Amino acid sequence: DADVPRPLTEAERWIQLREDVADCRRCRLSQTRTHTVFGRGTPQQARWLLIGEAPGAEEDRRGEAFVGQAGRLLDAMLDAAGIDPDAEVFIANVLKCRPPGNRNPERDEVAACEPFLHEQIRLVKPDCILLLGRFAAQSVLQSDLQIGRLRNKLHHITLDDRQVPVVVTYHPAYLLRNQQDKLKAWEDLCLALATVTEAAGE
Ligand code: URA
């Protein structure tokens, strides 16, 4: 039927999504942001999807995810785990715009931005999702529990009939202030790594 538009290809859906995020006016953060931050990495070959909270000052200025101090710690941790952040990972945030003064995301802002994150999850089709911090964990797992109750165990979400392993850990910005919890974050990363290695039959 010529009247029925053909569904978009995945490549077209990425382009559409990037445009929708760049033009977004769904919440008040669009009035104070400098740039939207879509995410970084190579979605086509990413086995990992990492999800943080929201852009900080540096990310807002540059329009790129996790390029400040927290991002440098995150890249160092991935590197130590043998994961190439430039090749195997896509890194996104719950919010695509910076909350003023880095305040916490509001519930309605998370709700307004969630469809973008969900489409990113569907398109990346990761082998494992690593949730960084409370806001990513609570949003993706639809939970009210604190990080201490959610980390160090394997969760799953269902994505297009596929079970995707999900691991929760501390946010790298938190780890910069709480060095004593770095070892726990390392354990979480190893847990996530084990699920991916297992899935690949390595
Ligand atoms: N913190 C986040 O959660 N995301 C970023 O992109 C940078 C800092």
CA pair distance 182, 108, nearest whole angstrom: 31
pLDDT given for residue 89 in this prediction: 96
CA pair distance 180, 177, nearest whole angstrom: 9
Please say if the pLDDT value at position 201 is more than 80.
Answer: no
Of 3-12, 52-61, 114-123, which gets the smallest average pLDDT? Answer: 3-12
Q: Does the CB atom of residue 66 touch ligand 1 within 6 A? A: yes
ipTM comes to: 0.92
Q: Does the CB atom of residue 99 touch ligand 1 within 6 A? A: no
CA-nearest of 85, 97, 84, 156 to 127 is 156
Ligand 1 centroid to Cα of residue 201, in Å, is 32
In the chain, pLDDT over 70 holds for what percent of residues? 99
Residue 8: pLDDT band (50, 70, 90) is very high
Nearest-atom index, ligand 1, CA of 53 = 3
Nearest-atom index, ligand 1, CA of 172 = 1
172-175 long-range contacts (CB < 8 A, ≥24 apart) are 172/52, 172/66, 172/70, 172/71, 172/73, 172/74, 172/77, 172/132, 173/56, 173/69, 173/70, 173/133, 174/133, 175/73
CA-nearest of 190, 172, 178 to 51 is 172
Locate 3 and state its tokens: 């009247």
Domain ranges of the chain: 10-199
In whole numbers, what is the pLDDT of the chain averaged over residues?
95
Nearest-atom index, ligand 1, CA of 132 = 3
CATH superfamily of 10-199: Uracil-DNA glycosylase-like domain (3.40.470.10)
Residue 197: pLDDT band (50, 70, 90) is confident
